[in-house]
């Protein structure tokens, strides 16, 4: 059986050791993740509805794509890998703009999160194992859904969106 292995990090985001994904989540250890926000050819922001088979936040809406940073991997290479795996889009690291860095907290599942925006407009091809659906939204549509108390978004997405919406507006 194959296991996902993550870098366990300290409060300064420095690698301490590697551990299995299941252990990292069970013990609430600090680890790394990326979230990517991308726009479709119509200029609207793409959100994904996570697959029902996901163990965390199944069938909830989140950023265009996201994922853990694997052991030994850096944030930018994780961004490229996740875009290819989830959206079927192959890109170079220079096509991404880092928006913010978020320290571990309850809402992120003890993850250091780096949030990126894709500079290009894309036509994604969803990976059916990872994603149930893709839809496009304006920033104001997302804001209205969240303000109305919609339960359709993951807690981590709501937390991240509130921190970056002004950055996304500038890119629209």
Tens digits of per-residue pLDDT, 29-84? Answer: 999 999 999 999 999 999 999 999 998 999 999 999 999 999 999 999 999 999 99
Instruction: Among 3.90.79.10, 3.40.50.360, 1.10.3720.10, 1.10.630.10, name the CATH number for the domain at 5-171.
Output: 3.90.79.10
Give the contacts of 26 (CB within 8 A, at least 6 positions apart).
none
Instruction: Give the span between the Cα atoms of 46 and 36, in whole angstroms.
Output: 10
Q: Which of 63, 74, 59, 62 is nearest to 38 (CA)?
A: 63
pLDDT at 7 over 50: yes
In the block, residue with structure tokens 């940073």: 69
Helices assigned H by DSSP within the chain: 21-27, 75-87, 139-147, 155-171
Radius of gyration of the CA atoms of the chain, in A: 15
Instruction: Give the span between the Cα atoms of 20 and 68, in whole angstroms.
Output: 12
Contact 34, 44 (CB under 8 A): no
Tens digits of per-residue pLDDT, 92-146? Answer: 999 999 999 999 999 999 999 999 999 999 999 999 999 999 999 999 999 999 9
pLDDT at 1 over 60: no
Give the contacts of 73 (CB within 8 A, at least 6 positions apart).
81
Instruction: Give the span between the Cα atoms of 117 and 100, in whole angstroms.
Output: 10
Residue boundaries of the structural domains of the chain: 5-171
């Amino acid at each position: 059986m194959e296991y996902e292995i993550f870098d366990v990090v300290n409060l300064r985001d420095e690698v301490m050791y590697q551990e299995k994904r299941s252990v990292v989540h069970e013990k609430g250890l600090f680890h790394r993740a990326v979230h990517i926000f991308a726009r479709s050819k119509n200029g609207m922001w793409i959100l994904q509805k996570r697959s029902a088979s996901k163990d965390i936040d199944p069938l909830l809406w989140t950023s265009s794509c996201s994922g853990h940073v694997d052991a030994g991997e850096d944030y930018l290479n994780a961004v490229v890998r996740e875009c290819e795996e989830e959206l079927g889009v192959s890109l170079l690291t220079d096509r991404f703009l880092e928006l913010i860095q978020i320290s571990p907290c309850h809402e992120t599942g003890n993850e250091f999160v780096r949030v990126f925006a894709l500079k290009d407009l894309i036509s994604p091809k969803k990976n059916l194992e990872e994603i149930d659906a893709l839809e496009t939204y304006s920033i104001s549509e997302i804001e209205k859904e969240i303000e109305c108390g919609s339960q359709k978004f993951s807690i981590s997405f709501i937390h991240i969106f509130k921190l970056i919406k002004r950055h996304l507006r500038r890119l629209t």
